[in-house]
Structure formats: structure tokens, C-alpha cells
Amino acid sequence: MKQIAIVLFDGAEELDFVGPWEVFTMLSQAVEGSCNVFTVSETGGQVTCAKKLRVLADHSFETCPPVDVFLVPGGMGTRREVANPAMLAFLQRIAPTAEVATSVCTGSFVLEAAGLLTGKRATTHWGSIDRLKALGTVLVVENTRFVDEGKVVTSSGVSAGIDMALHLVGRLWDPPTARRVQKYMEYFPDPPYGDVAIPG
């Protein structure tokens, strides 16, 4: 059974982690014994997210069990977390033994600050692409939903985390299982304004 940790902090963008949470917990229901999904924050307990959703983290950094996969969401809180020694030390501690480190949206900046993206291809929210390029440590990929570098997988903004999580289900389990999860979620995007162009 794979242990999947969702790393939370104040100011995390809700859909960045709730979308992947839905994918992985749906997997746990579809395939018994496949995974255990939990949340972790610096001190445990309540986290207030970007749009004021309040979440109770299951573990603190200190009590977090070993993980196979971990996810760092984006949101305005990442501006603080890139300089949070406790966050960076935690990621550096769990990354070597984890199978995959992942990020959604500007969570990639937190992975970068922890030294997990150096020299790797990665992506982020379209509005932060230039900022990621300016760091000079990452091979930035634009106009993509996610980038799989094996040990590290990053996705672009917000809803792209769902696509990345489904990709990981297909990679770590198998594509038929990922298709089952996708069907159970009824995730077949057909937005009413599908012709929206990204500014810039």
C-alpha cells in the first residue's frame, strides 16, 4: 500500500490539493489496499487555505509517517513557504525515500527552494512561468498540463493537478485503473468556454 501525503500550509490553493485528493482517495476505494492518503502540515491541526477553506491536517511534520508520494500545492502561501526552514527541511527529509515528489501550480517553487528541481524540467501556473524561469535552476516547460521527470512530477495551474494525479495512477498502478478512477469521478472536461486563450 502506497502512502500518499498532501502537504498543506496556510494560503494553499484549495483545488490544487483537493483535486488530487479526490483522485487518490477514489483510487483507494476502487482498488482495495492500493493507497492511504493523508494530509500533513508544519504543526498539524487547522490550516486556512487561499479561499478560506479550513482543513484539519492529519499529521505534523514531526509525526508524519514515511511516504511514497507527496504533493505540494500552490497558492499565495508558497511565497512564504519558499523561505520556511521547517518546510524545506521536511521536504528534504522525506524526498530521498519517496518514490515521487509532486507539485501543483506554484508548489513547484517550494520544490525548487528545497533543491528538488535543480536541473530538471518542470512547469507551473501560466502566470508564474517567467518567475520560474528567472530562478535559473529549472528547465521550464510551457503550455503543458504536467511534466514527468520520474522522481519529480510538476503540473501547471490548479485543475491541472487532477490530470497529473490521474497520470500518476496510470504510471504507478496501470492505465486501466486510471481510467476506472476517471470514470468514477466522471472527469471528462467539456467546459462551456473551451476556446479561452491564455493571456500574455
Interval 146-188: pLDDT, tens: 999 999 999 999 999 999 999 999 999 999 999 999 999 999 9
Contact status, residue 7 vs residue 41, Cβ threshold 8 Å: yes
Q: Residue 51: which pLDDT band, with cuts at 50, 70 and 90?
A: very high
Q: What are phi and psi of 4, to 5 degrees?
A: -115, 120
Average pLDDT, the chain: 96
Residue 198 has pLDDT above 70, yes or no: no
Share of the chain above pLDDT 70, in %: 98
Give the model's pLDDT for residue 199.
59
Residue 193 has pLDDT above 90, yes or no: no
CA distance 180 to 112: 33
Element holding 4 (H helix, E strand):
strand 2-7
Query: Any idea which of 100-109, 137-146, 167-176, 187-196 has the lowest mean pLDDT?
Result: 187-196
CA distance 100 to 153: 7
Residue 46 has pLDDT above 70, yes or no: yes
Give the model's pLDDT for residue 130.
97
Q: Residue 190: which pLDDT band, with cuts at 50, 70 and 90?
A: confident
Q: Residue 116: which pLDDT band, with cuts at 50, 70 and 90?
A: very high
Q: Is 64 marked active-site?
A: no
Q: Which domains does the chain have, with CATH numbers?
A: 2-184 (3.40.50.880)
**Pick from 16, 150, 158: nearest CA to 95:** 150
Joined together, the cell numbers standing for residue 80 give: 512564504
Instruction: State the catalytic residue, choosing from 35, 49, 64, 105.
Output: 105
Residue 200 has pLDDT above 60, yes or no: no
pLDDT digits (tens, 9 = 90+) for 57-102: 999 999 999 999 999 999 999 999 999 999 999 999 999 999 999 9
**Pick from 96, 47, 89: nearest CA to 67:** 96
Give the model's pLDDT for residue 141.
97
Joined together, the cell numbers standing for residue 166 give: 490521474
- How far, CA to CA in Å, does 87 sit from each of 7, 14, 191, 198? 9, 19, 36, 32
